[in-house]
Amino acid sequence: MTFGDGNAWGQGGFETTCAHSENSGSVDLLYAVRHGQSTANVAFATDTAIDSDDMAIGLTDLGERQAIAVGRWFASLDSDQVPDLVLCSPYLRAAQTWQLIEQELRAAERELPCHHIDQRLYDRHRGKLSHMPPSTVRERFPEELVQEAADPLGYRPPDGESFRDVADRLRGVVADLETDQRHHRVLIVAHDAIVLFLRQLLENLTDTAVLALAEAGLAGNGSITSWQRTANGYHLLAYDQRTHLPQH
């Protein structure tokens, strides 16, 4: 089975094969991890502009420690809970997060999952507003803020995409998971918007419920969200779990 338009990759380079046998079962357990803290996260928190290709933004030292902590959490699980497939955003900060998780699995001598870059898991693209601190947007593009406030999920920044666009590209990922007969436990390593709209699609949440989640706070860096498949679809086990993370 092929996921998305991306290539598969691993510590030894890109690969395209999966060792899991066909018709071995369905995806029963799904994890979603937000990447560790990135340099862009720090810049945004301090209302500072950053001039960088979004795909090339990497982890901070804290972000690396967060990713290692996530890896140790997965390495501590029973074998029937460790992911056997990883789908990763093509962005560097997500790839680095997965590589550090994989490092901890390897150190614990756990069986490593097959892993793929999935192009549909990239972060929400904010177009011309990418990496602009809130103060700059308010000063230079106040009309954009008015439009966003009027339609938070449907608003598209200039040359960017809306949150509904994010949800639309995730539908294909969820459809692939529904038909996957090779893997039982899947880990998605991506971004806060991906985690949020996975919740909407997997749990059939209304737009009002999604906006309430966003208002309460999006998934944090290095957090873990998980779902268990039931007869009625996916049931949320934990959202934005952070107890495993370092404090500094």
Residues making up the chain, counted from first to last:
248
Q: What is the rounded distance in angstroms from the CA atom of residue 190 to the CA atom of residue 90?
A: 9
pLDDT the model gives residue 178: 92
What is the three-class DSSP state of 159? coil
User: Quick one: how far is CA 49 from the chain centroid?
Assistant: 23
pLDDT the model gives residue 134: 82
Mean pLDDT of all residues in the chain? 90
pLDDT the model gives residue 11: 40
Q: What is the pLDDT of residues 100-131, one digit of tens each?
A: 999 999 999 999 999 999 999 999 999 998 88
Q: What global pTM score does this model have?
A: 0.91
Residue 166 Cα distances to 35, 55, 80, 122, 125, angstroms:
17, 16, 31, 9, 9
pLDDT the model gives residue 7: 41
| pLDDT(1) > 50 | no
User: How many other C-beta atoms are found inside a 10 Å radius of the C-beta of residue 109?
Assistant: 8
| pLDDT(8) > 60 | no
The share of the chain scoring above pLDDT 70, in percent, equals 93
Q: How confident is the model at residue 19 (pLDDT cuts 50, 70, 90)?
A: confident
Q: What is the rounded distance in angstroms from the CA atom of residue 159 to the CA atom of residue 141?
A: 14
User: Quick one: how far is CA 171 from the chain centroid?
Assistant: 14
| pLDDT(5) > 90 | no
Mean pLDDT of 212-225: 96
Q: What is the pLDDT of residues 124-165, one digit of tens each?
A: 999 998 888 888 888 999 999 999 999 999 999 999 999 999
| pLDDT(10) > 60 | no
Q: Which of 34-48, 159-173, 216-230 has the lowest mean pLDDT?
A: 34-48
